[in-house]
Structure 1
Amino acid sequence: MLPRHRPVVRVLPLLLCALLVGCGLSGAAPLDPGVRRAVADWSAAPPARLAGIPLEGWSYEVASVRRDGDRALARARLHYRLTGHDAAPAESAREVDLTRDDGTWRVTGDRPAPGAPPQLWDQGDPTVVRGAHALVLGVGQTRQTLSGIAAEADRAVPAVDAAWPGPWAGRVVVLVPGTLDAMAALLGQPAAAYRGMGAVTTGKAGAGPAPADRVVVNPEGYAQLSGAGRRIVLTHEVTHVATRAATTAETPLWLSEGFADRVAYRDTASTPAEAAPALGRAVRRGELPAALPSNEAFAFGGDPDALARAYEGSWLACRLIAAKWGDATLVRLYESAGREPLPTALAETIGGDLAGLTTAWQAALSGELGAP
């Protein structure tokens, strides 16, 4: 069973105060012009150890300062873009330490604000590998490992282009932390949520292209995959990046996850029995699903076999739609389901309803996964 995931929506905690005075921090005070100038001078360029990363617009917006004699702690929001990749600035809530010497403030360091996920470079000096379509940033990884991931991502992008006609950048950023725990820290979740998975995608669904979609690799899960498994996982993730602008809260997860697997498996020789082992075992036990997977079926941290069945069933549903009505109709359904309720989207694209689709899907599961 291949490690899989659902799209992850991350919203950084609101750690900054709207007002510069009286924002609830002990010792908070109006911004000292010297502090503001020190932060501005310090953030005029990224740190030297990030020189290999194509950064632009690097700046810190100071929101509040807490002073204690010749020491100060500033709460700030870091803004930056990865050149050629980010449609809008990425953001990170930070704390900046300053000291005053002979009346002049200077920055002595910064770190993630309490409760805010770290940036990859907070975990160590990053190594940068550029592919034709991919930018891979890694910490605690060999250049050979990162080059292999870049090569797989470079293969994934054209495969997604061939399957998804909608507009997207045609590029992907891949983050490769050193450990599963480091990956979980980047995503602000417990490590158990991602154990056994190969990768996940960050980004906010809807309202146009996400400013900073990232594919985040679980180095431990990814290392356990075969070459074919790695290709499938990265193609799945790149599909989420490409379709982000068409994905909204209206889109059922069985459709978004099933479509991503449809793209990932489309050019492989994998049969349903080979690619859906968990669901196959259930069907042969007489446990035919009563309905297409619910959104709740994709929750992290639950029964891994049940999660596998949800993904496998979603893939087979999208595979069925493509086989019966065509890949172009599957794409139209995906786009329509992000704009309007699923019953309307189904009626407009396949000319049927959810009950009819479910019956056809159940028949396909019985025929393709039943007893030999």
Structure 2
Amino acid sequence: MAGRRRASGSSVVALCLLLVSLVACGGRPATDNARADVQRLLDRRAAAVLDHDESGYRRTGSAAGFADVRALPLADWSYRLTELHRTGDRATADAELRYRIDGFDKAPVTARRTLELTRDADGGWSVISDRPAGNSAEQLWDRGAVTAVRGEHSLVLGVGQSREALERYAELGDRAVPAVSKAWGTDWSEHVVVLVPESLEGMAGLLGSPASSYRGIAAVTTGETGAARAPADRIIVNPEAYDVLGSVGKQVVLTHETTHVATRAHTDTGTPMWLSEGYADWIGYRDSGRTPAEAAPELARSVAAGDVPATLPDSGDFGFTGDSTALAQAYEGGWMACRLIAERWGEGRLGAFYRAVGAEGVDAAMTDVLGTSPEEFTGWWREYLRTQFAGDGPAAG
């Protein structure tokens, strides 16, 4: 009996020795240890970014990308390992990057990343590369070294742009913010972050969409609607379309996009696009001196030719990949609707209507704030178009 016990004990020891490469006897699997080691590696890499510590960054692996993020004014930068796929001394890590721009982001932005790793002879892990995860949008620094220009109300981050060009964007942003606050109020952050990539393709990469979706579009705003504490808003510029605009057009576009930043917490899926885009255009054109025929040439031409829209634009009319004339008329129709409200009920009532639509829907807001119905309002809008454009717009042709 005693001999059998000794033999059994030896077998247990031998089994532990046999499996030690897979399981620490009575401890965690080796894959768990690898995950912990990789997470610590990512923690060190993140700390090096925040501390502007290039030598510390190099000790975690490839130095590629360090210079690209050096100019970012960061308050936070961290990785959370979500998956680790290991084959021998190589591994692929899926991670969530969380970062926050100091003084501008209320909460961290989250980006999915894929990192390639290698293990050295001493068992330590190093980063070979860090790229956007599959089907994820790029970050600005994935396009190259970021240049940062800070204005009074704006932060402009650019790649492939001169500092002088970015300073001009900051000047436009600094004028846009008080213009929006003058009309909308000050219950928002009153600052903007503008991203200026090197090209249309760069813009599309930041949005994770084909370039064809944004050709001819000067800028878009990203952000989570209907939430007071969404991570961040970004105005993303298409420099190829933006640069051909005149000085007034450039200001109108940036003020329009800044309006989206200001109104985002009061915008939800129930807010019609004629209102959200029309209101942004209304603020954008508010102090521009442009007449309706100058600011809405496509709609003016159509109405002057006797083709008055039967209904307010719907969401499908605002698709970037559709007919450019129809898209222009949709924006212009929304702007004219907001212009009508401002003239008939007052500018303050227009802002109150926007907020009420986000809280209770269009029908209720029409009744509660404007004392009318959607059908009656549409009739007034059509008559307003005739009054503004019939016989006075650009010649049909």
| TM-score (normalizing by structure 1) | 0.90
Q: In 1, are the aligned partners of 2:67 and 2:145 still within 8 Å (CA)?
A: no
Q: Which residue of 2 aligns with 1:15?
A: none
Q: Which residue of 2 aligns with 1:16?
A: none
Q: For 1:319, which of 339, 359, 377 is the aligned residue?
A: 339
Find the aligned partners of 2:273 and 2:157 in 1 and give their Cα distance.
Answer: 28
What is the deviation of 1:52?
A: 1.9
Q: In 1, are the aligned partners of 2:199 and 2:239 still within 8 Å (CA)?
A: yes
Change in 2 beyond 3 A, CA 1:129/1:166: closer
Give a deviation string over 1:40-97, Cα, whole Å, max 9, x none.
2122232354222111220000011111111111000000100111111101000112
- Is the counterpart of residue 270 in structure 1 residue 273 in structure 2? no
- Is the counterpart of residue 165 in structure 1 residue 168 in structure 2? no
* Identical positions, percent: 50
What is the deviation of 1:232?
A: 0.2
Q: Which residue of 2 aligns with 1:74?
A: 93
| Matched residues, number | 345
Q: Which residue of 2 aligns with 1:14?
A: none
* 1:287-298 correspondence to structure 2 within 5 Å: 287-298=307-318
Q: Which residue of 2 aligns with 1:124?
A: 144
Relative contact order, CA 8 A, sep 6+: which one is greater?
Answer: 1
In the TM superposition, structure 1's runs of 4+ consecutive aligned residues that sit over 6 Å from their partners are: none
Q: Which residue of 2 aligns with 1:38?
A: 41
* Counterpart AA for 2:386: S
Q: Which residue of 2 aligns with 1:89?
A: 108
Find the aligned partners of 2:75 and 2:284 in 1 and give their Cα distance.
Answer: 33
* Counterpart AA for 1:133: H
Structure 2 unaligned regions, length at least 5: 1-29, 50-65, 393-397
Q: For 2:362, which of 342, 346, 362 is the aligned residue?
A: 342
Q: In 1, are the aligned partners of 2:173 and 2:255 still within 8 Å (CA)?
A: yes
Q: For 2:211, which of 186, 191, 206 is the aligned residue?
A: 191
* 1:142-181 correspondence to structure 2 within 5 Å: 142-165=162-185, 167-181=187-201
What is the deviation of 1:29?
A: 4.9
What is the deviation of 1:339?
A: 1.2
| TM-score (normalizing by structure 2) | 0.85
Find the aligned partners of 1:29 and 1:206 in 2 and give their Cα distance.
Answer: 41
* Counterpart AA for 1:69: G
Find the aligned partners of 1:117 and 1:65 in 2 and give their Cα distance.
Answer: 21
Q: In 1, are the aligned partners of 2:223 and 2:233 still within 8 Å (CA)?
A: yes
Q: Which residue of 2 aligns with 1:367?
A: 387
Q: Which residue of 2 aligns with 1:62?
A: 81
Find the aligned partners of 2:230 and 2:329 in 1 and give their Cα distance.
Answer: 29
**SS of structure 1 residue aligned to 2:360:** coil
Q: Which residue of 2 aligns with 1:351?
A: 371
Structure 1 unaligned regions, length at least 5: 1-27
Change in 2 beyond 3 A, CA 1:48/1:140: closer
**SS of structure 1 residue aligned to 2:359:** coil
* Counterpart AA for 2:108: P
- Is the counterpart of residue 285 in structure 1 residue 288 in structure 2? no
Q: In 2, are the aligned partners of 1:39 and 1:106 still within 8 Å (CA)?
A: no
CA radius of gyration, larger in: 2
Q: In 1, are the aligned partners of 2:107 and 2:229 still within 8 Å (CA)?
A: no
Find the aligned partners of 2:223 and 2:201 in 1 and give their Cα distance.
Answer: 20
Q: Which residue of 2 aligns with 1:53?
A: 72
Task: Answer 1 or 2: which has greater helix percent.
Answer: 2
Q: In 2, are the aligned partners of 1:31 and 1:64 still within 8 Å (CA)?
A: no
Change in 2 beyond 3 A, CA 1:166/1:354: farther
Find the aligned partners of 1:91 and 1:53 in 2 and give their Cα distance.
Answer: 16
**SS of structure 2 residue aligned to 1:293:** coil
